[in-house]
Copies of this chain bind each other. A is one copy, B any other.
């Protein structure tokens, strides 16, 4: 389902959160899809169940998944809203970076060029 990288400086629970959120945001996991149970995912990833528990808690808080007691965890059905929210967030970040670049002397052409550039890693 997802991969965790122990060299990644991000805490493990955050890698889990980001991984599942991304799958949900880009539609790879449709609404009401059941995701692995805490124990099962913990086994798969060889991780402490507490860590998965924490990740699922955060995902629920964000509205990405919902928990049905005794039945499991499922992808939320309002991903469209969350996706739009995420896009706004990305937009704000790009805007801030662009402003900073201008301060350092980058011109508009260079900025536009970056939109096509494939970055090394995410921000």
Give the B-binding residues of A (Cβ under 8 A).
Answer: 6-7, 9, 11, 25-26, 61, 66-71, 74, 77, 83, 86-87, 90-101, 103-106, 108, 110-123
Chain B residues contacting A112 (CB-CB under 8 Å) are 112, 115
B86 touches A104 (CB 8 A): yes
A95 touches B115 (CB 8 A): yes
Chain B residues contacting A11 (CB-CB under 8 Å) are 69-70
B104 touches A117 (CB 8 A): no
Chain B residues contacting A115 (CB-CB under 8 Å) are 94-95, 98, 108, 111-112, 115
Q: Which of B70, B104, B111, B121 contacts A83 (CB 8 A)?
A: B104
Chain B residues contacting A114 (CB-CB under 8 Å) are 90-91, 94-95, 98
